[in-house]
Structure 1
Amino acid sequence: MKAIRFMQPEDIEYSDIPAPQVKDNEVLAKIAYAGFCATDIELLTGEMVHIKNGNTKYPIIPGHEWSGTIVEVGKNVRDFKVGDRITSDVSLGCGECDECRKGHYNLCPNREVIGSYKNRQGVFAEYVAVPQRHVYKIPDGLSMLIIMSAAVFSWILTIDQFPLRVVNLMAAITTSREVMIILVVILLLIVGMFIDGTSALIILVPILFPMAASYGMNPVHFGIFMVVTLLIGGITPPVGILLYICCGIAKIEVKDTIKMLIPYLIMYIVVALLIGFIPGFSTWLPSLLFK
């Protein structure tokens, strides 16, 4: 397979290497998209701490933000099949230690990191092999480009202090929590019209959650508020991904549903505002269950 390798600091090679051999509990995926982020820059310059302490050595295939399609599965893989569109965790646990048995793969003493730590092969190649416990299916209709780029986009937003800028902008517009909720509803309805809910959450949570926290909103309350409001956008033209899916299943034209949809949209928006303004609507049950 073709792969990009960092041979030494500032030394990049594009060459043919053997494809990964799939173990019994792994899947082999053909890479569709791969992102380039600050970790890869540190690997390229030699500034990464794992290079300095010897836990990562050259040459290495970098890259850890990716999406792709399964082309082969190991004999013990049950939850995935050839043709599934997937992405994965970055930090890979051994699957055998106490921490891994608890699901704390990031605390595994034997962990590897795709594209960096312990020289686990990265995704700047045609194929990558990943244990099935670290693999996630990408829902139909969700762009693999969005999944790959969301982590890069979030990193850029964080480095640029964009969440802080949004908080400061909102504070400049209003100090009222109620006005902030109305502005967020408008934003989420517009975003939900054009972007599916999963992608919107990946992109917007790092931006909006710090702002909500600055207004004293409970994380559970704000999370439910975001999901409900984004789903309303999903059934709203002109794009309305959920609307198109439902019309496709029912075999009816989208234009024939819009008039009938208006009363429900009004009701849904009222419910979203009630959830936003009255925290008890969304937090009473969790507060009972997790006292």
Structure 2
Amino acid sequence: MNIFFVLFLFTQEAKKSEHEIGEEVIKGELKYKIVDPKIYLQVSLNPFAPLDSVISKEQYIFDEKLYSTIDALNTPILYLHSEYLRMPLVARFMYGSIALFIPRFEKTVSSWELVIIDAKGEVVRRYAQRGMPPPVLSWDGRTDNGEMCNMGEIYNYVFTAFDAVGNPTRITGRAYKFNGVVYEEKGSTIIAVSANALFNENSAHLNSESEPYIEEIANIVKEKFKKEVVVYSYSQSEELARSRGEVILNEITKRTVLQNKAVSTAPRFIPGLLPKYSKIEIVVQ
């Protein structure tokens, strides 16, 4: 053991003399007991909370003073039922973009034009620009005048690209139809849906396909509500407009917890309006 120790020192000394700056590596073992307590985090997750919310029939109590004075930022929390009641479903409304166009050209394009036309062949929206088109073109459902297009109408599009000498390449799209759209305007959320998607023809009775639309409408109201909801019903018949508006109002009331004065309906009687252009508009503020 003593001989080994001497040789070890000699080796280290000889190695150290070869360099101005040396390093030594010391290896060994040391027992150390950790006495610091581990951090314990208890996750407060109740997997039965969504079910409890429904079974307990959780609701809130209001009075007139509360409705008129409460801070608008807190209103959705206080006035609406549990967030768990926002049922997950497949969206039937268009949000933001009605249609996306993705043009691809192998050759250089000098200029291009995208025209969206209705069932009558009339142009409702035109996009045009020099040079190559952008990677994606989005149509928000509005006309060139900024008005929202009719729900339930059939639309088509024609995309034309011109080369350097003016030769056109024309691409005609397929017919496109949308029954509902959700958009923002002047601080309000507007839900517009074709009456034919909700009601039987010339009737105020809901059809067999209306349930998913109404559930989605209720979800949007729960998410966006601040102070009031107004249901506008457009029809060629004054009585039909009134009846349909009341039906939708009742369906929203059944699915949300809102004070009576926070929800109202306003019929919009338009003589000569074609039945296919009849619609329901819910304005959420």
Give yes or no for TM over 0.5.
Answer: no
TM-score (norm 2): 0.24
Greater helix share, 1 or 2? 1
Greater strand share, 1 or 2? 2
Name the larger-Rg structure: 2
